Chain A
Amino acid sequence: MTRALLHSLGIQLRVIHALLMREVLTRYGRHNIGFLWLFVEPMIFTLGVTALWTITKSAHGSNLPIVAFAVTGYSSVLLWRNMPARCINGLGPNQSLLYHRNVRPLDIYASRLLLEAIGGTTSFLVLSLLFIGIGWMEPPEDVLKIALGWILLAWFGASLGLFLGALSEQFELVEKIWGPMSYLTFPLSGAMFMVDWLPPAAQEVLLYVPMVHCVELLREGYFGSMVRAYYDIGYVVAVSAVLSLLALAQERRVSRGLVLE
């Protein structure tokens, strides 16, 4: 029983690795910097937003260092937002690979999610180290808290990605709605504010948004006693766990009914 499970796990890891390597090549190719685009692309995004926020002083009403605020905020947005973006209609271009029996839709989603997580994390790390190195950012106060916030956010993003990805195979509407949804939820995701700055009524509403808790936790890790963070780890875990279950159920449903060309 355990042996069979380990054997299956071995196959699955092998397949995800194969898909990951293939995805890197088909997405970034071999020209110019190749796979480095994986994290250079989000880095450029974050750099641009950091520059914009610095110029417009977007973290208004606070004395927090703007560069660190922007890097932690926008990196978080990229992490949870790119995962669903890559999963929605994600099976189409890879569908013919399903002719290899061990390649299942879940593996395709997993490889895409993993790639986004690697890209987003590397971008965040490289930018942070770079800015700390040149003195634009102070070193963080509590790396473990940052890691926990980041991992929770990645889990939430992955479950949302898998859920919406699998749902989009059944309902075309998902793709249409995700664009405006992701755009509209961005300002609500905690990237551009600390909950503490808001009036109590707004705080209450925004603390229903799972991303807000993760970003608050991450920023507490970064800024320590400079900020007062509001978060409930139990809430994020509960939301992500339920969403993961729904996502896996939907993935299974889609996977069983899949019609290949």
Chain B
Amino acid sequence: MVTIDNVTKRYPTRHGSITVLDGIDLQVAPGERIGILGRNGAGKSTLIRLISGAEHPTAGTIKRAMRVSWPLAFAGGFQGSLTGLDNLRFICRVYGASEEDKIGFVEEFSELGRFMREPLKTYSSGMRARLAFALSMAIEFDCFLIDEVITVGDARFHEKCRRELFERRGDRAMIMVSHEQHIIKDHCSRASVLREGKLQHFGDVDGAYSAYSGA
């Protein structure tokens, strides 16, 4: 269970503080898949960052009673002089996983082959994206945070990611942000709309979309 209780997030700016999230609540049960809808700048990514624990709320609490992932396929920690393998090792150490059983999977899934042992600065953006996705799949989580990234690589790789995430991990909870309606509609059982700092919940995705586009 992930429980977000009355969470507010404000950021200081040069002309006073802005309230991005204003007392929002959200509960995610194990196995539940929830879409978050909202326009650009509505605070969707802020919400994902708060749930992931990368940032702290200004007020309110977030309880994580299951293992929550980092934002899926996030490639920000990549540093040019490190190899793909270095990044895998780092992640395994941080999450207390054994790297031995993961190397084969990541090498195979990312299709990097011997590039696993080359520095990241020699990678194309597609290779980085494939590595990032493979690393996200290397550690087991009960709840995945997905911020607009399932569109990496060509159609075949795309399909592979879809199988790995949505089929093989079909029993996991997911919190998903996407501007592509069909992704949310295909994979989420319910959705919430983020607007002017408030999060409004809907029992089904279609209801959320009609409220979202009607406004």
Contacts and interface: CB of A to CB of B under 8 A. Distances in A.
Q: Are A and B a genuine interacting pair, yes or no?
A: yes
Contacts of B76: 96, 99, 261
Contacts of B70: 99-101
A249 interface: no
Contacts of B11: 259
A89 to B, nearest CB: 16
Contact of A256 (B56, B74, B91): B56
Contacts of B96: 11, 14
A260 B93 contact: no
B93 A14 contact: yes
A60 to B, nearest CB: 45
Contacts of A101: 52-54, 68, 70
Interface string B67-111: 010110010110101100010011101111000000000000000
A26 interface: yes
B55 A258 contact: yes
Q: Is chain B's binding surface mostly helix, strand, loop or mixed? A: mixed
Contacts of A25: 81-82, 86
Q: Is chain A's binding surface mostly helix, strand, loop or mixed? A: helix
Given A100-B70, A101-B70, A259-B55, A18 B90 contact: yes
A22 B82 contact: yes
B201 interface: no
B74 A99 contact: yes
Interface string A223-261: 000000000000000000000000000000001111111
A25 B53 CA distance: 26
A26 B53 CA distance: 25
A29 B81 contact: yes
Interface string B27-47: 000000000000000000000
A102 interface: yes
A11 B94 CA distance: 8
B93 A17 contact: yes
A98 interface: yes
Given A101-B54, A256-B56, A18 B94 contact: yes
Interface residues on chain A, size class: 20 to 34
Given A256-B56, A259-B55, A260-B49, A21 B71 contact: no
A99 B94 contact: no
Given A25-B81, A99-B74, A101-B68, A260 B94 contact: no
A101 B49 CA distance: 10
A10 B74 CA distance: 25
A14 B93 CA distance: 6
Contacts of B90: 18, 21-22
A51 interface: no
Residue from B55, B74, B79, B94 whose CB has the most chain A CB atoms within 10 Å: B94
Residue from A11, A22, A257, A259 whose CB has the most chain B CB atoms within 10 Å: A22
A18 B74 contact: no
B142 to A, nearest CB: 14
Contacts of A102: 94-95
A260 B54 contact: yes
A103 interface: yes
A206 interface: no
Contacts of A18: 89-90, 93-94
A14 B49 contact: no
B160 to A, nearest CB: 24
Interface of B: 11-12, 49, 52-56, 68, 70-71, 74, 76-77, 79, 81-82, 86, 89-91, 93-96
Interface of A: 11, 14-15, 17-18, 21-22, 25-26, 29, 93, 96-103, 255-261
22 contacts: A14-B93, A14-B94, A15-B93, A21-B89, A21-B90, A22-B79, A22-B82, A22-B86, A22-B90, A96-B74, A96-B77, A98-B54, A99-B52, A99-B54, A99-B74, A101-B53, A101-B70, A103-B94, A255-B56, A258-B55, A259-B11, A260-B55
User: Which 6 residue pairs across A and B have the least CB separation, nearest first?
Assistant: A96-B76, A101-B53, A18-B93, A99-B54, A99-B70, A18-B94
